[in-house]
Amino acid sequence: MDYCLNGSCIVLKRFVVLVLCLLAVLTSCGQAGNQGELKKVGLLITDSVNDQAWGTKGYKGLLKIQSRFNVDVYYKEGMNSKSVVERAVKEYSQKGVNLIYGHGHEYDEYFSELSPKYPDIHFITFNGDAKNKNVTSLILDSYASGFFAGMVAGHMTKSNRIGIIPAYEWQPEVKGFYEGVKYQNKNAQLNIQYVNDFDDKEKALQIANDMIANQYDILYPAGDSFSVPVIERVKEMGLYAIGYVSDQSDLGNKTVLTSTIQEVDKLYENTAEKFNLGQLESGNITYDFQSDIISIGTFSPIIEQDFIDEINQSIQKYKETGELPNE
């Protein structure tokens, strides 16, 4: 019902319509949201976004998505059990999130059970086996990066003792590192001790201290949260390390010989783009050197240039042919 005073109803109505139109234009200009399928994005992390390795990479990827697609993003730390993950997914669903990243292989099991309950959400996890239609598992095949880093370690060791401190036995970069060391230096003695947790810094440091005491002069701490503290300990002792996930040369380029890198932040942006376009496949998708997601980090200036050139040539050959130096 229209209420008019002094016969001005038509003029007033036109004025109101004009004001509403202007407000609509201004609102759309100031809040231009994404026009594709991507609405809101959630991230679940087992430990912290401040670990300077795996967790930090995931957080950077989330920020890239926010910047590029102008959508709301959310993250939760300490998501390390089924019950907390269930609550987080329910909360994200209520917020209108339609793309959730579980930042680690742990979420493969959780998402396998939860995804049928949330058909309007697409779930992404890592190094798992996705079987449901709204789940994608990103397989990071880092065997080759481990192999090339192992070659570096085998070349640079002085004591012929190299220690590997992985989180789990299944990590492909660990097997690759072992094979790379053996290819480069048949006299090298390797010691592998598993932490059985990506975030147990105390146990990883204890293993590192034992290895250092037994004259292991190069350590490869392949774990999300413990790579940095182990490298810092190695640096204190004047020894060498191989970085993990990020280019960790900034911790000391005369300590960190190179790093096995996983460009997870780039992968976040890539998968979000595909989802936005309706092109993200369910199931398992594998990434290696050829995708520029897996790579080797900065080489230490203490490594001879001739050897660096040799490694770079081997990497280029692998990209082109898929063949490693021992094949």
Tell whether 23 is covered by a domain. no
Residues 122 and 149 both lie in one domain: no
Which one, of 293, 284, 280, lies nearest residue 111 by Cα?
284
Residues 242 and 272 in one domain: no
Q: Give the phi and the psi of residue 281 in degrees, each rounded to 5.
A: -80, 150
Strand partners, 219: 163, 241
The reply to whether 44 and 109 lie within a common domain is yes
Q: Which domain holds residue 188?
A: 143-261+297-321
**pLDDT at 193 (0 to 100):** 98
Query: Is 5 within a domain?
Result: no
Global confidence as pTM: 0.83
Classify residue 193: in a domain, yes or no.
yes
> Which residue do the tokens 């309007």 mark?
120
Question: In this structure, what CATH number is given to the domain that contains residue 188?
Answer: 3.40.50.2300
Q: How many residues in the chain?
A: 327
Residue 159 shares a structural domain with residue 257: yes
Same domain, 197 and 243: yes
Of 198, 213, 141, 127, whose CA–CA distance to 165 is shortest? 198
Claim to verify: residue 278 and residue 210 sit in the same structural domain: no
Q: Is 234 inside a domain boundary?
A: yes
Q: Within 10 A of 93 (CB to CB), how many other CB atoms are there? A: 17
Same domain, 67 and 105: yes
**168 with 242, same domain?**
yes
Could you tell me if 96 and 148 lie in one domain? no
Same domain, residue pair 176 and 237: yes
Per-10-residue mean pLDDT of the chain, 327 residues long, equals 33 38 38 78 94 88 96 96 97 98 95 97 96 96 97 98 96 97 98 94 98 98 93 98 95 97 94 97 94 94 98 96 95
Number of structural domains the chain divides into: 2
Same-domain pairing of 181 and 303: yes
Structural Rg of the chain based on CA atoms: 25
> β-pairing, 99-102 with 40-44?
parallel
Whether 16 is covered by a domain: the verdict is no
Same-domain check for residues 184 and 101: no
Distance CA 306, CA 296 (A): 17
Is position 9 within any domain?
no
**Token couple for 59:** 């957080």
One-character DSSP codes across 39-64: -EEEEE-SS-TTSSSHHHHHHHHHHH
